Amino acid sequence: MIVGDLLHLDDLDIRLAWGTPDLLDRPVTGLSSTDLQDPAHYLQPGELVLTGLVWWRPADASGALRFATALRSAGVAALLAGEGTHGSVPDSLADACRTHGIPLLTVPAGVSFRAVTDRVYLRPWGGLRVGAQDTAAIPETVRHELLDLLHADAGAGEVLAHAVGRLGVPDCSITTAGGRAVAATAAPATAPAPAPAPANAAPTTAASVPPAGRGDTGLPVGPQDGSPFDGWRLRPHLRSAAAEPVLQSLAELLAPLAARAHADASARRRAAGRLLDALAGEAGLTEPLAACGLGGAESLVAVTTRIDGGRAGEAGAAPGDGPPAAWAAHALAEALHPLGAPYAAGTDRDGRSAALVAAPVEQVAERLRRARPALQSRLTGGRTLRVGVGPAAPPAPAALRAALVQARYVLEGSAGPVGSAAELDSLDGLLRGIPPEVTAAFHVRLLAPLAAHDRENSVSLLGTLAVFLDHDGSWARTAEALCIHVNTVHYRIRRIEELTGRSLARLRDRLDLRTALLCAPQPARARARAQAQAPAPAPAR
């Protein structure tokens, strides 16, 4: 297959935006779809690159050139750009492709990426791979049987069961890079070869798949975009050196299934991105919700996630920002998929990943808490996956926007890696979501005189204030807690009021001072309490 063949595929209406005749004669070795702005690490020479342009931002004048530079460094055959996200392919991308000599073809908004993937992979696959050395391990008859199943749109479970039964290899699982089970066979070793599973057979659950350690990456199947959570792996349940060549060949033959799933997932992320963008604007939600399969939902739970950390220069890390937001969207999809409830997970125009889920909020929060350790184990380089779960809201713009704001707030302020809006039931919990620069300034503004006093004296007024408010303003209980006379408490409180200009007899001032104390870092709070309870030094003689 050559690049120019794409212009003659039936019903796809792929058009040439830029390319010379000699460039259209380039041979094609495969296809990868990506939403990353710098996918060079995950591409192979001679591949077609399919992108929905989710990464492109009109305000980023050099973004298109950086993307084309990455494609040029990977030696790709051509770029297929979808018009669905922005309505057209930007002129800056055409200019960048012309600069780097990369053929640019456009995919109309009405054509799904899955249709493109199927045409590129399934139709030419038999002829493209028939003479390849790595398929020699599979008998020709079995290879044709598997290709027939692929052409018939059979599912991964049916194809895998047929392959294991006919090839005599150990039972296998197909999983995502994040560890979620896609399909598996688990027949006993002494049982006869299994018959192909019916096309409508229930999918194998993750519980039936042997867990894979971090070092057990399996054999890659189809497109790999570099995300720790995306892409398929073929994992044999028992290792066998004799079966290794056959399994390698099987992984090659399963590539069209993985490419189809990858295209479907990319389409879902693009639809979710349009829904999130619609929430940020004034457009109606009826069509975006329906496109994501959420049209009939009575309420939706807002979820947002982020991956913090990552060393500069490490693959997949954007300078200063850690890994791309697409990774976080992949992680959300991996965690939410086993719920079996409709959801939309993607990134908005500002690069923030989020999801809307048609399931009870308690169920969503519990699922994310259970899934998060396994997803975290896939991350390296000091990266941390954090999740915020907002409340359930009706599918109305204002309500969903408010739910997303709450989800992002608890993401920032949760004490743990998975926070929930249900935690916003105390002043302490509410303050954790405020930027530390703001809380630190508030603390200094109200309590700087007390801090200055404590630096020059052995008695801590900050600690006294904290204990006094902890005991609801009780003079006697404060004196007992600090092991001092009640008159000493009265003296210290008068001094606090003089220095701060606040009266601890007024509820409003008490609340302000209590909030300022909570805005202090935890170690500073502990030191102040310890200093307040320390015995006063004996007077000099």
Higher pLDDT, 302 or 189: 302
Question: Are 280 and 377 within one domain?
Answer: yes
216 confidence band (pLDDT: 50, 70, 90): low
**Which amino acid, one-letter code, is at 94?**
A
Q: Alpha-carbon distance 509 to 220, whole Å?
A: 63
Q: Which residues pair with 48 in a beta bridge?
A: 31, 78
In a domain, 41, yes or no: yes
Are 420 and 443 members of one domain?
A: no
Q: Which residues contact 376 (CB under 8 A, 6 or more apart)?
A: 384, 385, 417
Residue 132 lies in a domain: no
Q: 496 with 382, same domain?
A: no
Contact 354, 345 (CB under 8 A): yes
| Kind and range of the H or E run holding 30 | strand 30-33
Contact 50, 31 (CB under 8 A): yes
One domain for residues 11 and 45: yes
pLDDT at 201: 37
Please tell me the predicted confidence (pLDDT) of residue 61: 85
Q: Is residue 168 part of a domain?
A: yes
Instruction: Yes or no: say if 531 and 461 are a contact pair by the CB < 8 Å rule.
Output: no
Q: Does one domain contain both 24 and 70? A: yes
- pLDDT for res 122: 60
Q: At 442, which helix (H) or strand (E)?
A: helix 436-456
What's the pLDDT score for residue 317? 43
* Residue 538 lies inside a defined structural domain of this protein: no
Is residue 68 located within the same domain as residue 87? Answer: yes
Whether 457 and 315 map to the same domain: the answer is: no
Residue labelled with tokens 């990774």: 327
Match 């995306």 to its residue by tokens.
230
Chain segment 203-212, per-residue pLDDT in tens: 333 333 344 4
Q: Which of 116, 1, 100 is nearest to 50 (CA)?
A: 116
From the list 8, 6, 10, the residue with the least C-alpha distance to 27 is 6
For helices 522-533 and 475-482, angle between their N-to-C axes, nearest 10 degrees:
90
- Give ∠ CA 419-424-426 in degrees, rounded to 5: 130
User: Rounded CA gap, 310 and 464, in Å?
Assistant: 42
Predicted pLDDT at 194: 38
The answer to whether 335 touches 367, Cβ cutoff 8 Å, is: yes
Choose one of 228, 253, 278: the last residue of a domain: 253
pLDDT at 412: 84
Is residue 391 classed as helix, strand or coil in its secondary structure?
strand
Phi, psi (deg, nearest 5) at residue 268: -65, -40
Q: What is the rounded average pLDDT of the residues 97-108? A: 96
Structural domain count, the chain? 4
Sheet holding 300-308, edge to edge: 343-347, 353-357, 300-308, 384-393, 418-420
CA diameter of the chain: 104
131: its two tokens:
């003479």
Neighbour order of strands in the sheet with 232-236? 181-184, 172-176, 232-236, 219-221
Provide the β-strand partners of residue 184: 173
241 and 96 within one domain: no
> pLDDT confidence of 451, banded at 50, 70, 90?
very high
Kindly report, residue by residue over 472-490, the tens digit of the pLDDT: 999 999 999 999 999 999 9
Contacts of 311 (CB under 8 A, 6+ apart): 317, 381, 382
426 and 441 share a domain?
no
In the chain, % of residues over pLDDT 70 = 84
Rounded CA Rg of the chain:
30
Alpha carbon distance 302, 358 (integer Å)? 9
Asked if residue 274 and residue 186 are part of one domain, the reply reads no
Last residue of a domain, one of 111, 146, 177: 111
Residues 387 and 343 in one domain: yes
pTM of the model: 0.69
Q: What is the CATH number of the domain that holds 22?
A: 3.40.1390.20
Residue 128 lies in a domain: no
Exposed (0-12), middle (13-18) or buried (19+): which is 248, by Cβ within 10 Å? middle
DSSP 320: T
Say if residues 128 and 147 touch (Cβ distance below 8 Å): no
pLDDT confidence tier of residue 40, bands split at 50, 70 and 90: confident
User: Are 191 and 318 found together in one domain?
Assistant: no
On whether residue 241 sits in a domain, the answer given is yes
Measured from the Cβ of residue 69, the count of other Cβ atoms closer than 10 Å reads 17
Last residue of a domain, one of 432, 461, 481: 432
For the chain, what is the mean pLDDT?
84
Asked whether residue 34 is domain-assigned, the answer is yes
pLDDT for position 134: 45
Note the pLDDT tens digit of each residue in 389-416.
Answer: 999 999 999 999 999 999 999 998 887 8
**Strand locations in 43-100, DSSP E?**
47-51, 78-82
Model confidence at 125: pLDDT above 50: no
How far is it, in rounded angstroms, from Cα 342 to Cα 292? 8
Cα dist. 464→200, 311, 534 in Å?
70, 43, 11
Determine the average pLDDT of the residues in 147-161: 91
Question: Is 157 part of a structural domain of the chain?
Answer: yes
Nearest CA among 205, 192, 201 for reference residue 165: 192
Query: What is the domain-level CATH number for residue 448?
Result: 1.10.10.2840
Q: Which domain holds residue 512?
A: 436-533
CA dihedral of residues 162, 168, 174, 179 (deg, nearest 10): 150
